[in-house]
Structure 1
Amino acid sequence: MDNGLVELVERWRDSPRDFVIECLGATPTEQQRAVLDTLASPGAKITIRSGHGTGKSTLFAWTALWALCCFLDVKVPVTAPTAHQLSDILWAEIKKWHGSMLEPWKSAIKFKADKIIMENSPGFVAARTGRKETPEALQGFHAKNLIFLIDEASGIPEQVFETARGSLSTPGARILMAANPTRLTGYFYNSHHKNRDLWSRFVFSCINSPNVDAEYVKQIAEEYGEDSDMYRVRVLGEFPHASVSQFMPGDVVEAAMGKHLREDMYGFAPVVIGVDVAMFGGDRSVIMLRQGLYSNILYQVRGNTPETLAAHAARLYDEHKADALIVDATGVGEAVMSSLRLMNRSPIAFYAGEKSLLPNCVNRRAEVWYKMREWFKLGGAIPDNSDLRDDLVGPEFQYTAGSSKIQLERKQDMAKRGLASPDLADALAITFAADVLPRSSHSGTGDGGGWADDDYDVYS
């Protein structure tokens, strides 16, 4: 390569935007230009939530070709949830723009079934489908220059990101990730929320994109309404208030996070402590307090013995002068119950699998989550804790055939989707398992475990 071409490549390496304009003959939109300029920096971590048809696949194609042309030792893993997205959309888009390239780069690039190479260079672009059956899609790549392209990231299972954690954190590695923001949990969602400070975040709204026909925007607005989740996701590139099968609305939870309540707004209500007992070593045992519309996390731990957890529960029960102590008594929880009784406490047992006391729920777990959801709608407040938020919005639900009762997603099924057990949320939900009177209303004395009144408002 002569000196003039070398200087050109060096300039393009520092300016992906110039490469796209000069080598590919393209005209990036304002949205695309902002991303290309950010991509120039080694170690750039870019996440894009986008409406439909804004040109994110085109942006991925440009990035792949820029990497091959401007870096010698480069590897570009490209992943998406389906083979269709990779071969029929991304690969086709790369081939389309390859046809517009300047020589000699156009002739030097060769396409294979799942790889694109540059002649006389060790660099390549590799396609890997990101599925839970193949969590190693982004794992094992090593090069001086790494550029990860992750399309439709909202649909990629968490196992893929967990497996690739080491590769994604390689010093200097660039990450370009984009999706229609359909899910309210997971790696992509977190890149725009609790991990947002680690990412350069962009929103590709259809309204601001010259690639999108105004008629499309008008059609979605007329068919679904501008306040609908469909309009938010497909047009605005914003996360929905709630996914179709999500039980707890995300906007309701976020409105409750960190909400300040004056003590006179809840101080009259009974103090209820809920204890969620970990079933497996990786799960958390959690102790939550709720008093009327107020709630707080008192204790959480992984790998505690039933006796130690019971001791913490008894101590917190006394410290907060609680009116009831409700324990998830399933499995290991029975041992916690026994220990509390030996400490002269009277815990209330909660069995998640028992038949619901409400006619619209399958079991007691669905029942207490349903009551908790109603509590949020009435103005319930929770700590500003991202783990609690993720736990609350994580479970999905369905209606049973025939009876149309609410059935909450099992923890085992959440694990298959790459989600952790919602221990913090379960502990809060357990506080709704019994209707409790405050101590001042008790007709007698005692330690306060399980004073109930059918007429008492559980949400107060």
Structure 2
Amino acid sequence: MQTSTLTSRPTLNPALRDFWLTPARNRVLYGGRSSSKSWDAAGFAIFLATKCRIRVLCARQFQNKIAESVYTLLKIQIDRFGLRSEFTITENAIRHNGTGAEFMFYGLWRHIDEIKSLEGIDICWIEEAHNLTEEQWEILEPTLRKEGSQFWILFNPRLVTDFVWRRFIARTPPNTVKRQINYTENPFLSETILKVIEAKRAEDEEEYRHIYLGEPREDDDSVVIKRSWVRAALDACRKLGLDRGPRRRVGFDVADSGEDKNALVAVEGIEAVRVEEWKTREDELLKSAGRVHAVARGMNAEIDYDSIGVGAFAGAHFQSLNAEFGVTLDYHRFNAGDGVLNPDAKVDAEDPQSPKNRDYYANLKAQTWWAVAKRFRNTFNAVEKGMSFPASELISINPACDHLDQLIDELSTPRRDFDNAGRVKVESKKDLGKRDVPSPNLADAFVMAFAPREQKPTAWVLTRSNR
């Protein structure tokens, strides 16, 4: 196929033609899901690469692996346009053989200082820009100093308080073209996804408007853990000059069935240092338990595992693995529906009017989520407001962890709910599913790894001496 016909291909959305061709320093494309934003950006970027020598910096907030970038999306568009022979695609870069155009891929959180030193960038494409911070923008904006250079800023709106919404939508700066696009302008959607969208509209109009029409939420007061709190916890140990602490724990959320995935979060002291997610068949619990046990052995860590459903058998596997490897790793069952810890203790020990744990929390899951939420809130106040707290009441997330975008989303999505007795609980997976929110496996593993605990391990462990 000739490159001269590329713009007429049906893989580019004609509704966005003027958006891409209007001269501007900042191109801001936002809206709901299934709107073709990223697909169109990738297609237009490939078109430009076939016409002129450009350097494109493809950035997103968290990118510890090339698979987390738009690299795959660009490759797909190259193939759809029939241009594979014109490009050299390596493991971490894409170049056009004729024009010399190149695409580079960076994560803002870990590489912002390295990005500052890049020269000759024509386009900085920021994908999933809802996570962009004011501090990062103050670094990025003067970094693109080449004449005619541009920012492409793409995102699904989250909150009206997010920096990217306030900076580019609420108070749009000069030399900026912004365009909202939703699924209603995407001519390439299948009937299947259209039916899914209409079902969501019939079920929950407010959620439909947020997810598919890109309407930002006014606030996040309905959630257990606020997004701003989680963001503040990123690299909090370094920000606050704290040691992680000695205790090692691994939280393990066991996949139930079907499309559900296993998740693992490893913690050193007050900092999450490792985040993993993987899919296995229902009959492969031993394989997953072995993976978790190997991580725990490497860290000399305790294991907290989901003991509901399939996970009920994980303890027996950990017992066998202890015997096999001659180690004494403690492992603890976590049943979200169990009764609360210290039921007669007050929720707030310093408040004489505070209710007791058993009267305030519906179950163990609620109690642990609220405990973790308190640590996130404390961390936010320490980082953003300079308030002082004991290190044990804070929480940190190492920015080198994988799946950070997903982890932040999952931690800051579940809402507060109440049982028939008026006690607080966390929005159930079933109710999350009604909002088209997948099971928060990473968040559940995270909370288990930081969960308060009073009971001793429920299963005995084998030592070298009694093998």
Q: TM-score range by the shorter chain?
A: 0.3 to 0.5
TM-score normalized with structure 1 length: 0.46
- The structure with the largest alpha-carbon Rg is 1
Larger RCO, structures 1/2 (Cα 8 Å, 6+ apart): 2
